[in-house]
C-alpha cells in the first residue's frame, strides 16, 4: 500500500499518461529510473519536472517503498538534469510538494527544478 495521504497510485494520473506517451511532453532526459520534461506552466525561465519511472504517489511513498537502486538512480538523474541544463552555476532550486498542505496537484512523485534567474526567498511569509 502506498504511504501517502493521497491514496493509492492512480494509473490515470497525468504523469503516468506522459510516461506512457499518451500525452505529449517536452522531454529533456530519460534513463532507466527517471524521466524529465518541461513544466507546462513554467514558474521560472527554466522549470523542469523530474519523475521516477515507477509508480510512487509522493516523496513519502517513494522514500518508504522504493529500492536503493531506484532512489539512487532517481536522485542522480535530478542532479544530472540540472547539470545538463547548465544550471549549477549560477545555481538552481529543487522542490517537491508532498500532500495537501504543499498543494501537490499530481499524485505521481515529482521534483521541480527551477532556474534561469535569481529565485528569491524560499517561501512566502
Q: Which residues are catalytic?
A: 110
105 binds ligand 5GP per the rule CB under 6 A: yes
Choices 35-43, 55-63, 67-75, 114-122 (CB under 6 A): range interacting with ligand 5GP: 35-43
Among 21, 103, 118, 120, binds ligand 5GP (CB under 6 A): 103
Among 25, 44, 54, 56, binds ligand 5GP (CB under 6 A): 25
58 binds ligand 5GP per the rule CB under 6 A: no
Q: Can you read off the three cell numbers belonging to residue 55? A: 509508480
Q: Can you read off the three cell numbers belonging to residue 39? A: 513544466
Choices 28-36, 54-62, 85-93, 98-106 (CB under 6 A): range interacting with ligand 5GP: 98-106
Of 116, 124, 10, 110, nearest to 50 by C-alpha is 110
How far lies 61's CA from each of 32, 58, 73, in Å?
Answer: 19, 5, 16
Nearer to ligand 5GP, 9 or 37 (CB): 37
CB-based contacts of 14, cutoff 8 Å, min separation 6: 23, 106, 108
Q: Residue 57 and residue 6: Cα distance in Å, rounded?
A: 7
- Residues of this chain that bind ligand 5GP (CB under 6 A): 14, 23, 25, 37-41, 97, 103-106
Amino acid at each position: 500500500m502506498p504511504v501517502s495521504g493521497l491514496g493509492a497510485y492512480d494509473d490515470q494520473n497525468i504523469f503516468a499518461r506522459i510516461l506512457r506517451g499518451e500525452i505529449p511532453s517536452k522531454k529533456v532526459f530519460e534513463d532507466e529510473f527517471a524521466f524529465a520534461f518541461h513544466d507546462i506552466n513554467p514558474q521560472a525561465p527554466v522549470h523542469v519536472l523530474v519523475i521516477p519511472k515507477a509508480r510512487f504517489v509522493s516523496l513519502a511513498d517513494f522514500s518508504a517503498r522504493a529500492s536503493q537502486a531506484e532512489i539512487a538512480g532517481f536522485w542522480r538523474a535530478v542532479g544530472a538534469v540540472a547539470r545538463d541544463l547548465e544550471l549549477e552555476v549560477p545555481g538552481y532550486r529543487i522542490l517537491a510538494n508532498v500532500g495537501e498542505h504543499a498543494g501537490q496537484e499530481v499524485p505521481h512523485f515529482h521534483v521541480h527544478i527551477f532556474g534561469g534567474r535569481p529565485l528569491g526567498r524560499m517561501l512566502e511569509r
